[in-house]
Structure 1
Amino acid sequence: MSDPSPNLEVATVRRVTARLMPLFCLMYLIAYIDRQNVSYAKLDMVQALGLSEASYGLGASLFFIGYFLFEAPSNLILAKVGARVWFARIMFTWGLVTLALGFTQNTTMFYVLRFLLGVTEAGFFPGVLYVLTLWYPQSHRARMVGLFMIASAIANAVGAALGGLLLDLDGLLGLAGWQWVFLATGAPAILLTPYVLWKLPNGPAHARWLPDDQKAWLAKMLDTERGGAVDDHRGAWKAIFDPRVLLLAGLYIGMPLGAYGLSYWLPTIVKSFGVSNTTNGLINVIPWLMVAVALWAVPRHAARHGASAWHIAGPVLLGALCLVLSVVLPGPVLKFAALCIAAPAIFAAQPVFWSLPPSFLSGPRAAAGIAAINAIGNLGGFIAQNMVPMVRDATGSNLAPMLALAAVLLVTSLLIFYAMRKLGRRDLA
C-alpha cells in the first residue's frame, strides 16, 4: 500500500496557501503602500511644507526608528495573543496614522506621525514570517516568503500608478495632491480590519476549513522539525541575543538599505527625466512588476536545485552592478533599464535569506529572533532615507546616490559568504 503522505502534503500545503496567502499578501500590499507613499507625496509635500530634501528624508526615515523599538515586543505579544487580534490591531492603528499624515501641518507633526507609523506597523512583517512557521514545514517556507513578498512588488507598482494619479488630484475638494496620497492609501487598512478579525485563524488548530487528517499531518511535521520541543514563552526574548540572530541581523541591514534607498528615490530619478506626475507613476510600475517575477522565480529555483549562499549573494551582486550602470550608462532609457534590473535583484535575495532563522529557532523564540533580525536590519531603511538625500545634496546629482547603495550591496554580498561559514553551513537546505 502506497504512503499517502506525499499526496497529503500537497493537498495540505495547497489548502493552507489558498486560504492564508491571499489575505497575507493583501495586508502586506496595503502596509507597503502606506510605508512607501511618502516617496510620491514628497514630490509636492516638500515645497508645500517648506522642507529641505534632507529634513524630508529624516522625517521619512523616522518610521524605521519606531519600527526598530517596537518590533520585538510586538512579535512577542503576537505569540501570546494570536495572529487574528494582533494583526487586526496593527492594521487599524497604522491606517489611522496614515490618514493623519494627510493633515500634516509642519515639520514636527510630520516627524511625529512617521515615527508613530513605524510604532503601529511594527511586528507585521516579522509577525507573518513567524506565523508561517506555524503553518508550513521548513521545505516550503522560502517559497511562501517569496509569494508573500510579491505583495511588496505589487504594492510598489500599484503605489507608483496611484501616487502619480493622486498627486494630479491637487485641488479636489480643497485638498492638495499630496494629501490625497495619504488619505486614499490609509483608508484600506481600516476597512480591511473587520475582515481580518473574521477570517484569520490563530493557527492550524483553529482553522475550521482544515480537515482533521491535514491538521494531524501538519502538527506531526512541525513537531518533528522542532524535535518535540514544547513552546515556552519564558525567556523567549533571550533569542534576540543569540549570536546567530545578531549575525543575520547585521548581515540583513544591507538589503533593506538598498531596497528602500532605491524605492524611495526612484520617483525622483524618473521625474528628473522630465515627465509628468502621472507618467512618472506609470513608468515606475515596470521595475516592480519585474520584482514580482524575481520573487516568484528565485525561491522556486532554490527549492528545485538546492538553496545555497549564491541564492542570496548572487542577486545582491547583480543589484550592485546595475546600480553602478544606472549612473555610467548614457541616456535616460539605458539608465532606467539598469534600475529595472537592479530592483528585482535587490529584492530577490530576501526569501531564501528568511528561510535561515527558522532553521535554528522555533515557537516564541522564532518570534523574538525573526523580529530582532528584521528590526535591526530595517535600520538600513533609516540609513538609506538619510544617506540618499545627503549624497544628492552633496553632489547635485539625482543618480550619484546609486553608487553609495551599490557599495553597500557589494559589502553585503561578501558578508553573506562569511555568515554562512560562521553558521557552519555551505547550503541552506
Structure 2
Amino acid sequence: MDTSLEKETMRRVAWRLVPFICLLYFIAFIDRVNIGFAALTMNKDLGFSSAVFGFGAGIFFFGYFLFEVPSNIVLHRVGARIWIARVMITWGLISGAFAFVRGEYTFYGLRFLLGAAEAGFFPGIILYLTYWFPARYRAGVVSLFMAAAPISVVIGSPLSSALLGMEGVLGLHGWQWMFLIEAVPAVLLGVVVLVYMTDRPEKAAWLADNQRAWLVAEMNREHAQKAVAAKDGAGHGILAGMADIRVLALALIYFGTSAGLYTLGIWAPQIIKGFGLSTLEVGFLNAVPPTLAIIAMVLWARHSDRTGERTWHVVIACLVAALGLMLAGGAGSTMAVVAALTLVNCGISAAKPPLWAMPTLFLSGQAAAVGIATINSIGNLGGFVGPWAIGWIKDRTGSFTGGLMVVAGFLVLSAVLTLAVARAGRRRGAANAVAH
C-alpha cells in the first residue's frame, strides 16, 4: 500500500470537506437551540409557562422523527448536494419565521415544521462522510464535524444575548431580531452547497487522478467487506437498516445523549440566569462549558480511533455527563453550576463520535442511509423528552433539580445499553467464528 498516497489523499479530502460541513452544522445548531436564549425575554412577552416552552422546544423532534428516514433515503438517491441545499434553505426560512410567533400554537407549529425541514441534515452528513472516509478515520472526522455544535454555543451564546439587546429597534423585540438575523446564513449557505459540495469521490475533479482512483478503490473494497459481513448481520436494503437489533439499541443509547444535549441547549441559559445574572453575563458564561467540550471531544475521538475501542469511550463519557447533571441539580453558586455544566458538555460531546462510528462498521448502502437515520430519528426523541420533562417538573416543583436527575438517569441507561450491545456483539462474533 502506498501510504504517502493515502495520507495525501485523505488530507486533501479532509481540508475540502470537513471545514465546510462544520460550518453548515454550526449554522444548523444555532438555529436549532437559539430558542433557549429567546426564552430569556420571549417567554415573558408571549406569556409562556415553563411547561409550554419545554413542550414547544421539544416538539421540534417529532417533525424530525417523522421525516428523518424518508429524508435520508432521498439523499442517498438524489445526492447530498441537492438535498442538503434543500434542507438548509427551508430550515432557514422557517427559522426566520419565528420572529412572527404570536402564541403557543404558532410556536408549536413552527417548531414542528423546523424539525421536519431539518430532518435528514445530521444523518445525511454522517452518511455522506461514509462515502469519503474509510472506517479507520471516521470517529476523528465525526468529532471535528460535531465540534461545530459546541462551537455554535460558544459563539452563538454571546451573539444571541447581544441580539436580544436590539429590543424596540424598528418596533420589534430583541428575540424577533435574533431569529431574523440568525436565519439568513442558512439560506445563503444552502445556495453555496449547490456549487461547492461534491456528491461522490468519482465526481471529485479537485482530486488528482491517482488520488481519486485510490479513494474509489478503497471505498469499494470497504463496501465489499460489509457485503460479506452482511450475510451474518445487517443487510443492505431499507428493511435491513430499520430492523437490525443493533440499530434499535444504538437508537436508545443515542436517546440518552440527545436528552442531555438539548437539556443544555434549551435550558442551560435559564439555569445560569437563575443565579441573578444579566442576559449578557449569561451569554458569556454559557460559552465556557462548550469551549472545554470541544477539546475533550477531539482528544477523546482521536484516542478512540487510535485504540480502535468504541464501547468504553461511549460508556465513560455518558457517566461523566450524568454526574455533571446530578451536580448541576445541587449547585449552590454560579461557578458550581458552570463547572457542573462543563462536565455535562464534555461527557455528551465526547460520547457522540465513537457512538456514531459504530453503525458504519456493519451497515452500508441503503441500509446505512436508513439505519443512521433511524438511530438519529428515534434517538433525537430524547431531545423532546429531556427538555419537556425539565419544564414540566419545574412548573410543579419550582426547581430544575428533579428534571436534571431524570435526564441523568437516561444517560446512565445509555451507558448500560452500550455495554449490552458490546457483549451481544462479542457473542455474535464468537458464534460466527464457530460456524465458519
Classify the TM-score, shorter chain: over 0.9
Q: Give the Cα–Cα distance (whole angstroms) in 1 for the partners of residues 393 and 404 of structure 2.
A: 9
| Aligned partners of 1:420 and 1:426 also within 8 Å | no
- Alignment correspondent of 1:123: 120
CA distances 1:48-94 after superposition (whole Å, capped 9, x unpaired): 11221111111111110000000000000001110111010000000
1:6 to partner: Cα distance: 1.0
> So what's the TM-score if we normalise by structure 2?
0.93
Q: Secondary structure at the match of 2:224?
A: coil
1:106 to partner: Cα distance: 1.7
Identify the match of residue 418 of structure 1 among 393, 417, 420: 420
1:420 to partner: Cα distance: 1.0
- Asked if residue 32 in structure 1 is aligned to residue 32 in structure 2, the reply is no
| Aligned partners of 2:324 and 2:343 also within 8 Å | yes
- Asked if residue 279 in structure 1 is aligned to residue 276 in structure 2, the reply is no
- Alignment correspondent of 2:376: 374
- Asked if residue 12 in structure 1 is aligned to residue 5 in structure 2, the reply is no
CA RMSD of superposed structures (Å)? 1.9
1:234 to partner: Cα distance: 8.9
Identify the match of residue 333 of structure 1 among 332, 335, 344: 335
- Asked if residue 211 in structure 1 is aligned to residue 177 in structure 2, the reply is no
Task: List gaps (5 residues or longer) in structure 2.
Answer: 229-234, 430-436
- Asked if residue 109 in structure 1 is aligned to residue 133 in structure 2, the reply is no
CA distances 1:142-164 after superposition (whole Å, capped 9, x unpaired): 11110000001111112211121
Code of the residue aligned with 1:313 in structure 2: it is: V
1:426 to partner: Cα distance: 11
Q: Give the Cα–Cα distance (whole angstroms) in 2 for the partners of residues 185 and 425 of structure 1.
A: 49
Q: Give the Cα–Cα distance (whole angstroms) in 2 for the partners of residues 358 and 345 of structure 1.
A: 22
Report which of the two has the higher share of helix.
Answer: 2
Q: Give the Cα–Cα distance (whole angstroms) in 2 for the partners of residues 252 and 300 of structure 1.
A: 20
CA distances 1:121-168 after superposition (whole Å, capped 9, x unpaired): 000000000000000000001111100000011111122111211111
Identify the match of residue 67 of structure 2 among 67, 70, 78: 70
| Aligned partners of 1:268 and 1:398 also within 8 Å | no
- Alignment correspondent of 1:253: 255
Q: How does 1:176-195 map to 2 (within 5 A)?
A: 176-195=173-192
1:237 to partner: Cα distance: 4.3
Code of the residue aligned with 1:145 in structure 2: it is: V
- Asked if residue 144 in structure 1 is aligned to residue 162 in structure 2, the reply is no
- Asked if residue 401 in structure 1 is aligned to residue 398 in structure 2, the reply is no
Q: Give the Cα–Cα distance (whole angstroms) in 1 for the partners of residues 148 and 426 of structure 2.
A: 33
1:179 to partner: Cα distance: 0.5
- Alignment correspondent of 2:354: 352
Identify the match of residue 95 of structure 1 among 92, 95, 100: 92
Q: Give the Cα–Cα distance (whole angstroms) in 1 for the partners of residues 333 and 199 of structure 2.
A: 52
- Alignment correspondent of 1:82: 79
1:326 to partner: Cα distance: 2.2
Code of the residue aligned with 2:32 in structure 1: it is: R
Q: Give the Cα–Cα distance (whole angstroms) in 1 for the partners of residues 385 and 178 of structure 2.
A: 24
| Aligned partners of 1:254 and 1:409 also within 8 Å | yes
Code of the residue aligned with 1:209 in structure 2: it is: W
Code of the residue aligned with 1:303 in structure 2: it is: D
> So what's the TM-score if we normalise by structure 1?
0.95
- Alignment correspondent of 1:293: 295
Code of the residue aligned with 1:263 in structure 2: it is: G
Runs (4 or more) in structure 1 with deviation over 4 Å come to none
